[in-house]
Structure 1
Amino acid sequence: MINKTDNLNNNNNQNVPNHIAIIMDGNGRWANQRNIPRSLGHRAGVEALKNIVKKSADIGIKYLTLFAFSTENWNRPEKEVSALMKLLKEFLKKESIRLHKNGVKITVIGDITLFSDELINQITKVEEMTKMNKKLTLSIALNYGGRNEITRAVKKIIENNYKVEDIDEHIINQNLDTKGIPDPDLLIRTSGEYRLSNFLLWQCAYTEFWFTDILWPDFTPMDLENAIKGYQNRERRFGSVK
């Protein structure tokens, strides 16, 4: 058990999650509380994100997956969606250079075919630029939905003419967006909601969940450490008896 936040950087403590997934919820509510446009809440959320990515790399987390834009988010007001797309382009163009220099590999999961050619090209460019980096794999879920991902995986399996008797969990894993990425050890959701909201439905079969009322723009590296401490105090049995 770890009692002091400083100890998270101690090499003697090996129980830091290998993979953390985060549902970054609460940007809009954060903005509403301050009577400012929701777009400024999303921008504040990006600032929080930068700090969390840096902290994750510093304490040895190898995989970080962030729910940035869901298949359902298209239903939001057009003005808000446009602001989100603009913010995403800015992040990929500017922040990816700094992340690349710090050894962060960037991948995108989700169905990006609905995005503009400009955004698709930017995603492809960033993935290619960072593909050899090893310090941290940052997966950004864009136009992502767990059910959509599983549906697309089934279609790939059918298109590849797998024999029914050969289809198993491994084959399904190989056809998901997260191919090559281990399942999350810990999932964090901010803003006081207690649901997955169609995020990583297959991958979270044995993931530990940590919920907080903190709105995403207010989520700090200290809060990340508290979530990890909560994870470290749990016993993971994966269906067995210990």
Structure 2
Amino acid sequence: MSVVRDKTPKQRDRALSQLLIDSVIDYAIFQLDKDGIVSSWNPGAERIKGYKATEIIGEHFSRFYTDEDRAAGVPVRALETAARAGKFEAEGWRVRKDGSRFWASVVIDPIRDDTGELLGFAKVTRDITERMEGQRILRETQEQLALSQRLEAVGQLSGGIAHDFNNLLMIILGNLETAQRGVQAMGGVNASVLRALANATRGAQRASSLTSRLLAFSRRQPLNPKTLDLNKYL
């Protein structure tokens, strides 16, 4: 009778544990033997991975990994780490029955008997694809914000420089126009001097147009880009 009384609570605990595992659908919870062969399968595993228990029990768990990870020996190392360190945790791509991939959070714990002998492994997998996608969107948003802030700083800097440079150009243009009028009034002056003054004036006017564009950029005004042949001014 003492043996019966001892077994009954254990059986009750096992049944309760199995009932709890079977009620979980957001986590794939299953067991592996010490060689990595699937020995149990809960409804959450079926929902996440797409295999029915009759299809997957008796198969090696490496089929849930990508071809690249299998070739690199990732499944084997996961079990070795769990057995050696007492736990294995990782995130990575996993493959469903239909071939589609999902980003998984994985925990593997070793199962040992009272003497410490390894019997197998308990594996819990969670699909965190949506969380990963949310983190990616957050990173991109943060990068875009940082870029926008850098552009704003560049715009403010270029606006200040362009404003000061434009003031200098106005002085240069004013003096060039005065010089042209003075030369023309003198008469008999070498035509090359007039051409040089005219070229200098055109160059200053184009530089003024460029500073206006820089000012427009700093104020976020729409620009009207045009092709410019720099060889004409070299």
The structure with the largest alpha-carbon Rg is 2
The answer, yes or no, to whether TM exceeds 0.5 is no
Q: TM-score, with normalisation over the residues of structure 1?
A: 0.20
More helix, by proportion: 2
Q: TM-score, with normalisation over the residues of structure 2?
A: 0.20
> Greater RCO between the two (CA within 8 Å, min separation 6)?
1
